[in-house]
Amino acid sequence: MTPGAQNMLPKTGRLGKASGCRLASALLCVITGLAGCSSSPQTKEAQFLKRGREFLKAKDYSRAILEFRNAAKVMPGDAEPYYQLGMTALQTENFVVAYSSFQRAVERNAKHSEAQLNLAALMAASGDGAMAAEGERRLREIAHDPSSGPTALDFLALAELRIGRPGEAETHLEEALAAFPGHLRSSVELARLKLRKQDLRGAEDVLKKAVSNAPQSAAAALALGQLYVVAQKTDQAEEEFHRALQLEPTNASALLSLGSLEIAAGKMEEAERTYERLASLPEKEFRPLHAILMFQEGKRDRALEEFIKLAKESPHDRDARSRLVGIYLAMDRTPEAAAILDEALHRNPKDADALLQRSQIYLWAKRFPEAQRDISEALQFKPDLALAHFELANIERAQGQMQHARQEFGEALHRAPDFLPARLALARSLLGARAARSAADILDQAPAQQKTDPSLIIETNWAQLALGNTAEFRHGVERGLALGRHPELVLQQGLVKMNMRDFTGARANAEEVLRLIPDDIRAARLLVDSFAIQNQTALALEKLRGLVEARPQSAALQTLLGNWLLAMRRPAEARAALTRAVAANPEYAPGGLALAELNLAEGDLDTARAEAQILAKSNPTDVAVLLLIGRIKERAGDREAALAGYRAVLQVDSSNLDALNSLAYSLAANKPDEALSYAQQALELAPDNPAVQDTLGWVYFSKKFYNQAVQYLESAVRREPTANRKLHLAQAYIASGNSVLGNRMLESAVAEDPKLRESKRAIEGLARSPSTRAMP
């Protein structure tokens, strides 16, 4: 049984005790017959509580909260409204509000057992050691009360599991079932505990017994069916889901589970019927599921008809309108989407949701000022709207303003800590800036309920890989794959196999991803690398050519082929592939960049400059383009213009490693103190990067700190020896007085690159000069 599989079992809900009118109030009405009795505070409270419970049952949480708050206003000394507010907060996973609400209920009535129980459970689940211990103590006290029922034992068992006492937890759950055999929650928790112990048979026996004790319980059949899904016993799972639906035809969880099972088995006609039943349920969140399924199946026109119908049936439902707009955009029917939003904003210019969606249309059209204007207006109406900050970050990112984008992603996350897309985007941005430690920390701070989300696991894996934590990376991949074969997890598994030198397995993973996503460059690179690492370069190239021939219009694959041919020192063929990449998609920046870099390497500065200017028009803030322009200017001898180019990159992204390193290297000769500042910033970002170490060593050499220069230059050559780095190290050796090592390194540099002979003669001349004696 895979770790975390027990989380797939459903949890049962917690129901509060209903409170009626006060007995004294009712008697007073009977005795006095006063006409005004119906409007007494007690009667008003009862009415508010009744409506609140109805809204809570319908999952209309905002209205439920209003009703319970009204009840608390008319009867501020009563515990029940605060208890109901706590239960509503639990449903929305707002645990801070739930805790304070239960606390207020207990303050007003210490004998409110349900409030006491839920308050103790929240305390036991807190991260505060002292509070958790007090919560556990209270749970034990409540559980030992014979009148407390099985729920207290359930909560106590969960608390014991959290502090690593599974044996005691199992004992208490068994106690609960011995006293209350039909209590499903205890059965589910005990089954989940047995799954954690890899005891699948034990978990099955527990839930089978629960079904036997409650043969008319749809929830029990559903729980057993979910267990069979975990056990990959799909026939038994389907049978239990059908039985649950026979007992309760409108059970949404059973319909969802059955539909998911049918989709996984490829039974799309059955799945459509199941989702059609789901869509007919009164709950709002299920209505679009059938249309969404049809859209995913490729039945877009039928899906669109249903989305239009849903939006017309609920003209004030912004979610229905937003889905319809999203479908129009996905079908490349932007004018219809824009018309819906324009009409909505004509009716209500303060419609923040419409403003946000229209900003997305402007963003896709690269109309950045209009997109920012809409978001600014949305924030005026809803200042705490996390989504607005998220979209603003996307606009900043699209314009290359990565530092501002990270700030806005962080702001979105600050306002909504459970906003997973913002957390993932911020982590990806930090990884792109080579700040893997910060990215890992951001991901680790995700709420507990998101820890099993595949997207979070995937991003955490990339962060661990960037940190060099291969064991954590491998464990994360295994944990993710236990939840499903997401293509990115399959790719990560291939990297794990490559590291273990299982090249056949790595190829299988790469090919699995490419079947699903033929343009996935990482999978293509993994495939060819699996051959190249075994010195099967010709076979690697053959595989890559095969991928390109299958998709000749893929600019990404053509670019990969061109870069691969460059690495094989076949520039003519590389140029042909890169030219095809640019022709296939002129806006694909990596292809244009690679072609311009090739021209720069061959000394054709005019062509490289022209290509860079074309790229800059469509990608004015792309840091890779700006860096290329800086290098072209540097090669042309325009040092000041090159420096200005590198500084322009840092204005867009102050933590750009390449810009920091290039700026430091260019400043080393004339402004070594300023160069040192940039080189040290680069080293903080990438302490093991050989290019960064070479630059820092060269800056120290320029400052005549030869011992420090040797330290970093040796590390750079050891990690990645190139002719130029050997040349730098040779000069540092000679300047520090070690001419034997210096001459040996100099010979090695020239042997690797004969063009350095002139530099060798110049260095040998300097070595004979008294001015090159080592600094003390």
- The 10s digit of each residue's pLDDT in 496-542 is 999 999 999 999 999 999 998 888 999 999 999 999 898 898 899 99
What DSSP string describes 557-607? HHHHHHHHHHHTT-HHHHHHHHHHHHHH-TT-HHHHHHHHHHHHHTT-HHH
pLDDT at residue 585 tops 60: yes
Q: Taken in order 518, 523, 529, 530, is the CA torsion positive or negative?
A: negative
- The 10s digit of each residue's pLDDT in 123-156 is 877 767 788 788 778 877 777 777 777 776 767 6
Residue 376 belongs to what H/E stretch?
helix 368-381
| Residues contacting 543, CB < 8 A, separation 6+ | 527, 528, 531
Greater confidence, 613 or 344? 344
pLDDT at residue 21 tops 50: no
pLDDT at residue 421 tops 90: yes
Instruction: Give 214's Cβ-side CA count (13 Å radius).
Output: 21
Residue 167 belongs to what H/E stretch?
helix 166-179
Q: Across 56-70, 431-445, 455-469, 640-654, which has the greatest mean pLDDT?
A: 455-469
- The 10s digit of each residue's pLDDT in 732-773 is 999 988 888 988 998 888 888 888 777 766 666 555 544 443
Give pLDDT, residue 614.
85
Within 636-689, residue ranges assigned H as helices are: 639-652, 657-667, 672-685
Q: Which of 282-286, 318-322, 758-762 has the lowest mean pLDDT?
A: 758-762
Instruction: Give 108's Cβ-side CA count (13 Å radius).
Output: 17
pLDDT at residue 492 tops 90: yes
Distance CA 344, CA 321 (A): 9
Q: Catalogue all structural domains in the chain, each as residue range(s) with its CATH number.
A: 41-109 (1.25.40.10), 112-214 (1.25.40.10), 217-282 (1.25.40.10), 677-776 (1.25.40.10)
Instruction: Give 199's Cβ-side CA count (13 Å radius).
Output: 12
- Band (pLDDT 50/70/90 cuts) for residue 39 is low
**Backbone torsions φ then ψ of 148, nearest 5 degrees:** -75, -25
| Residues contacting 375, CB < 8 A, separation 6+ | 355, 356, 359, 388, 391, 392, 395
Tell me if 462 sits within 8 A of 438, measured CB to CB: no
Distance CA 728, CA 736 (A): 12
Q: Which of 155-159, 447-451, 673-677 has the lowest mean pLDDT?
A: 155-159
- The 10s digit of each residue's pLDDT in 642-677 is 888 888 888 877 878 888 998 999 999 889 999 999
Give the global pTM: 0.62
Distance CA 261, CA 265 (A): 6
